[in-house]
Structure 1
Amino acid sequence: MIRTLQENEVVPLALMKLADDEAKILTYLSVSEVFVLEENQQIIGSCVVKQQSPTTYEVMNLAIAKNQQNQGYGEKLLSAVIQIVRKQKAKVLTIATADTSLPALHLYQKLGFQQVAVVRNYFMTHYPAPIFEAGRQCMDQIQLQLMLSSG
């Protein structure tokens, strides 16, 4: 089940930290909407979406519990979020990830996102400590967008 996290619920911060630094998460969490994916009444996925303009939304954080990864849950959650923001009259949905996040890049492109920019050395200049993924240091940020309507 995919639903909006309610204000009185505990934010799944430990889960979100799989996708971003806690200090960064805290900068966007209060101005974003949190969607969660539950399986057997347990939150196994989260997606944080921030409205950047009346028609542009950004996925700030997308995370699936480690023991649930590579089972299609990320695609299920992101697909649902795409439909939700489309109903909210969004025209563009953006997302960014590290150059080392090949499975994530594959998923985003599979769902129709197209690469629009590369921010060189983003992870070197915007994070206090080096971040490693799959044995490689994250260097560049890959920015992608999905056009939700032709208007």
Structure 2
Amino acid sequence: MNLEYRQVTEISEDDYKLLLDADPYKEIVDSYISRSTVFEVSNVDKLVGIVAMLPTRPETLEIVNIAVAPEQQNLGIGTLILQKMITSAKAAGYSTLEIGTGSNSYQQLHVYQKVGFRMNWIDHDFFVKNYPQKIIDKYLTFDGFVLRDMVRLTMKLK
């Protein structure tokens, strides 16, 4: 698969569709996206993913949003995007790369750990405190599972 990465400064409607799949509130996405470096990811001129990265502390970069188009999921695209961002962060001189996800985001947790991220800490009640409405996991709807905690993962690059 030959993915192409293009840095964008204007977020299109198609970009928002992907960003909001990973983070469901536009106001929250807007709060960090304007400070982030955003890359559209395409395969044969078709938008298949997006990633936003934000410097948070000296020598630390956080992937604040990463999404793959629903019809392109489970093809390894997310792993390829992560590997590219790891390589880019190293080349830019960062010593730490961070990412966070919902405590019940099992597939994302698997992929993040597979590429080398390690669980670092749990931000208890992150989603309850920071989001205007409860987030009900779309994959765990059998019991109306409410997303509460964010798992924070880190990777040392140096």
TM-score bracket, shorter-length normalisation: over 0.9
1:142 equivalent in alignment to 2:129 = no
Unmatched runs of 5 consecutive residues or more in structure 1: none
42-51 vs 11-20, which moves further: 11-20
1:31 equivalent in alignment to 2:35 = yes
Distance in 2, Cα, partners of 1:4 & 1:40: 13
Corresponding pairs, count? 149
Structure 1 partner of 2:53? 49
1:3 to 2, 5, 10: 5
CA-based RMSD: 1.4
1:18 to 17, 21, 43: 21
Contact 1:2 1:80 in 2 (8 A): no
Deviations, residues 58-94 of structure 1 (Å, cap 9, x unaligned): 0000100111111111001111011011100010000
**What SS class does the counterpart of residue 21 from structure 2 fall into?**
coil
The structural deviation recorded for 1:2 is: 3.1
**What SS class does the counterpart of residue 86 from structure 2 fall into?**
helix
Deviations, residues 32-81 of structure 1 (Å, cap 9, x unaligned): 10122101201110110001133100000010011111111100111101
Contact 2:119 2:151 in 1 (8 A): yes
The structural deviation recorded for 1:9 is: 6.6
1:123 equivalent in alignment to 2:127 = yes
Displaced runs of 4+ in structure 1, greater than 4 A?
none
1:70 equivalent in alignment to 2:65 = no
TM-score, normalised relative to structure 2: 0.89
**What SS class does the counterpart of residue 17 from structure 1 fall into?**
helix
Matches within 5 A, 1:78-89: 78-89=82-93
Distance in 2, Cα, partners of 1:8 & 1:31: 12
Distance in 2, Cα, partners of 1:9 & 1:120: 31
